[in-house]
Amino acid sequence: EAGVTQFPSHSVIEKGQTVTLRCDPISGHDNLYWYRRVMGKEIKFLLHFVKESKQDESGMPNNRFLAERTGGTYSTLKVQPAELEDSGVYFCASSLDYIETQYFGPGTRLLVL
């Protein structure tokens, strides 16, 4: 069974540009989560989808971040416009049910110059 996949693995962009990250969860997992780890800090929650609905987006830093999950399958996280402090590793995770273990993807390493 395929695990959680993320694309791209790395992205280097300039301040002010737009970047879109993609996450494909494990097949059949209705719950999808986005997390972020900035340098030297712990992994922090961004938001949680149940199917195509946003269950909790309390961790989204500001309105420059937009997450979507159309059709309840893959999800995208768009940063527009990107700022220097958005640099970090963005992880996606999925679970069968909200109380089940979350399985993580390899992450997208974003560097904003």
Partner 1 sequence: EDQVTQSPEALRLQEGESSSLNCSYTVSGLRGLFWYRQDPGKGPEFLFTLYSAGEEKEKERLKATLTKKESFLHITAPKPEDSATYLCAVQARGSGTYKYIFGTGTRLKVLA
Contact 32, 72 (CB under 8 A): no
Q: Which is it for strands 10-13 and 108-112: parallel, antiparallel or unpaired?
A: parallel
The whole-angstrom separation of Cα 65 and Cα 77 is 7
Of residues 13, 52, 74, 104, which one binds partner 1 by CB under 8 A? 104
Q: How many CB atoms lie within 10 A of CB 10?
A: 10
Of residues 8, 14, 16, 44, which one binds partner 1 by CB under 8 A? 44
Binding segment toward partner 1, per CB under 8 A, in 13-21, 64-72, 80-88, 91-99: 91-99
Q: Does 99 help bind partner 1 (rule: CB under 8 A)?
A: yes
Residue 40 DSSP class: T
Of residues 17, 20, 26, 56, which one binds partner 1 by CB under 8 A? 56
Q: What are 7's two structure tokens? A: 């694309």
| Minimum distance of partner 1 from residue 52's CB (angstroms) | 17
Residues with Cβ within 8 Å of residue 16, at least 6 apart in sequence: 81, 82
Q: Does 103 help bind partner 1 (rule: CB under 8 A)?
A: yes
Comparing CB distances to partner 1, the nearer of 13 and 89 is 89
Q: Does 33 help bind partner 1 (rule: CB under 8 A)?
A: yes
Q: Does 72 help bind partner 1 (rule: CB under 8 A)?
A: no
